[in-house]
Copies of this chain bind each other. A is one copy, B any other.
Amino acid sequence: MSLGEFDLIRRHFDRPVQRQPLGVGDDCALLAPAPGQQLAVSTDLLVEGRHFLSTVAPQALGHKALAVNLSDLAACGAEPMAYTLSLALPRVDDAWLAAFASGLHALADAHAIELVGGDTTAGPLTVGITVMGQVPPGQALLRSGARPGDALWVSGWPGRARLWLEAVRGTLRLEGASFEAGRLAMEYPQPRVSLGLALRGVASSAIDLSDGLIGDLGHVLERSGAARGFDRPLGAEIDAQRLPRHPALSGLPARTVLRCLLAGGDDYELLFTAPPSREAAVHEAARQAGVAVHAIGRITEPSGVVVRDGDGVRLSGHWSSYDHFRSEGGAQP
């Protein structure tokens, strides 16, 4: 029997599992969670022209497809275990597959997780990943745990991916170093898994930033409001001066910077809340994880989301979140 195209594809992805009982090649994979742990599961589907441009390097695509899923585990404080890959390919291109797989495997190895199953078919380029992690019962970080009075925190340096996208679209110009910083942020986001684990028992709620800070904050406020018995979402006040600004965002109009920070999308940082009394514990968790964190505001009773500048003046604006069905904010076909 000649080496078929499926075999070609499988050569890039079939690696024997070391940590789980059974990997690729049977009807199911078998995973062995640690005794008593709950299983955390997240899934994402990336479509060409929508979540990535056709010009993206396949290695970056492999990285990002897994990174956005690991970011969901991070936001739950779950420890990654394994993932499955579904791939629709318009053609079988060995060099493309090798590069895609290398990006995928490198990030998987960095987080000590294994590809345990998948499905490949012909079709428009589509990458679907489902990731599984474990977390002790009651310790998962949920969107619903924020309370009025909690401090609002964000990890790392949001806004760079959006900055890069604006430059690619030609709506602003960037120097070489800033463009490169933006490209790296867009193509190689680093999921904050260690931070999520360190924030167990410290943060009251968490979400990862995929659709823009204000939009994702809205999910936390909505679910936390419902969980607290309010018939409306909780409110929040954001101090614009305290939003962390990466050097790539310097020298740009204030309005542009604020838009990148608050409605950027594709940040894959953690947005989380914690009681003010846990400030030192938050800093210790960040130190353990080796990730910068910044307190950017606070949660309030239901009263909407307010963004204030350094003098406490309320900034108006439509900080809309990224909606894949709208024409703004995304890579369109």
Cβ-based interface call for A251 (8 A): no
Bound CA–CA A124/B121 (angstroms): 14
A239 → chain B, closest Cβ, in Å?
Answer: 25
Write the nearest CB–CB distance from A137 to chain B, whole angstroms. 7
The smallest beta-carbon distance between A12 and chain B, in angstroms, is 15
Q: Are A323 and B4 in contact (CB under 8 A)?
A: yes
A residues 200-232 touching B (CB-CB < 8 Å) = 206-208, 223
Interface code A120-143, partner B: CB below 8 Å = 1, 0 otherwise?
111110101010110101001011
Asked whether A75 lies within 8 Å of B45 as measured between CB atoms, the reply is no
Report yes or no: A132 in contact with B51, Cβ–Cβ below 8 A: no
For A51, the closest partner residue in chain B by CB is B121
- B-side contacts of A92, CB under 8 Å: 325
Given A50-B122, A130-B43, A130-B84: A76 and B36 within 8 A (CB)? no
Contact A21 B38 (CB under 8 A): yes
Flag the segment in A54-62, A111-119, A147-155, A159-167 that touches B: A111-119
A78 adjacent to chain B (CB < 8 Å): yes
The answer to whether B27 and A42 have CB atoms under 8 Å apart is: yes
B residues within 8 A CB of A4? 323, 325
Alpha-carbon gap, A76 to B30, bound state (A): 9
Knowing A27-B72, A29-B42, A142-B26, the reply to whether A124 touches B122 (Cβ < 8 A) is: no
Across the interface, A124 reaches (CB within 8 A) one of B43, B44, B123, namely: B123
Count residues of chain A with CB under 8 A from any CB of chain B: 67
Chain B positions within 8 Å of A98 at CB level:
none
Residue in B51, B119, B325 whose beta carbon sits within 8 Å of that of A43 in the complex: B119
Residue of B nearest to A30 (CB): B38
Chain B contacts for A323, CB-based, 8 A: 4-6
| Chain A, 21-49, CB within 8 A of any chain B CB | 21-22, 25-33, 35-36, 38-45, 47, 49
Q: Are A31 and B35 in contact (CB under 8 A)?
A: no
Give A284 Cβ to nearest chain B Cβ, in Å: 23
Residues of A participating in the B interface, judged by any CB pair closer than 8 Å:
4-6, 21-22, 25-33, 35-36, 38-45, 47, 49-51, 72-73, 75-76, 78, 82, 84-88, 92, 116-124, 126, 128, 130, 132-133, 135, 137, 140, 142-144, 206-208, 223, 323-325
